[in-house]
Each structure stands twice: as C-alpha cells, then as structure tokens.
Amino acid sequence: MDKGKRITGQARETLAAELKTAYEGGASIRILAGSTGRSYGFIHRILTETGVTLRGRGGAARRGPGA
C-alpha cells in the first residue's frame, strides 16, 4: 500500500473490512497504522466509518488527589 495514496471505492471498503476484523481481534490502532503505512488518524477514521466501538486507551486508571 502506497503511503499517502488516496484509497477509494472497493479498495477502501476491502481495507476497512480488514482493519475492522484486525481491530476487533485485538490489534491496536497504532499497530494497524504501522503495518499498513497509514497514519493513526486515517485508521481511526476508517474504523469509525465502519461502526466499530473503539476501545479505551488502556493503562491503569488515574486516581485523583486524596483518593
């Protein structure tokens, strides 16, 4: 996949389905971005367009002062 090249039509639909499957299988947006050569924002947008429920950022929950 060429970096920065516009993806439209059937190619975009195919990529979106592959990304959705991978994300729902546990891959992170950053991993998908790295493996496809696309930006984090592009992957995020594609996943949002497919109706995927995005996961939280993860990590330990922050506790406020006095908690």
Q: So where are the chain's domains?
A: 12-49
pLDDT digits (tens, 9 = 90+) for 18-57: 999 999 999 999 999 999 999 999 999 999 999 999 998 7
What whole-number distance in Å separates Cα of residue 48 and Cα of residue 42? Answer: 10
For residue 29, the model assigns a pLDDT of 95
What whole-number distance in Å separates Cα of residue 30 and Cα of residue 19? Answer: 12
